[in-house]
Amino acid sequence: MTTPRMRVAALLYLVLTFTGCTGSPRTEKSPPVTPPATTPAVDFVDTVWRVTESNGVEPGMTYTFKSDGTLVLGSPHGTPATGTWKRSGKRLVMVEESIEYPVDILELTAERFRIVINNPGTPTEITMAPADR
């Protein structure tokens, strides 16, 4: 009568005995070298960005993604609001009033910053330019 323990021992013996028996020596190949990720030449952090076009945000509104993780939202007609932001892989996450919104960066150049905020309902696409230009 074989027990489960005996079957496991027999299976382990077979695996250890016959693993790698191909008749020719194995050569280990090095994994391919992946070049380090490059940092974009332009960074959006600590720049005041003014909205130029949007399907849901008023043109003239400003977004500042501060290096300490603070998000400052300015409006030409009201008091600035604050939230937080962080990087998440190739995305951003903006947090406003304790609600997280995943954000995709569509374009980032010295003259233009385009994002889409994936909020419930219709995503909000925003095109911005540096406010000082």
CATH topology assigned to domain 48-130: Lipocalin (2.40.128)
pLDDT tens across the length of the chain (133 residues): 544 443 433 333 333 333 344 444 444 444 554 444 444 457 899 999 999 999 999 999 999 999 999 999 999 898 999 999 999 988 999 998 899 999 999 999 999 999 999 998 899 999 999 998 7
Residue 63 burial class via C-beta count within 10 angstroms: exposed 0-12, middle 13-18, buried 19 and up = buried
Side chain identity, residue 46: D
From 91, 132, 96, select the one nearest 115 (Cα to Cα): 91
The answer to whether the pTM exceeds 0.75 is no
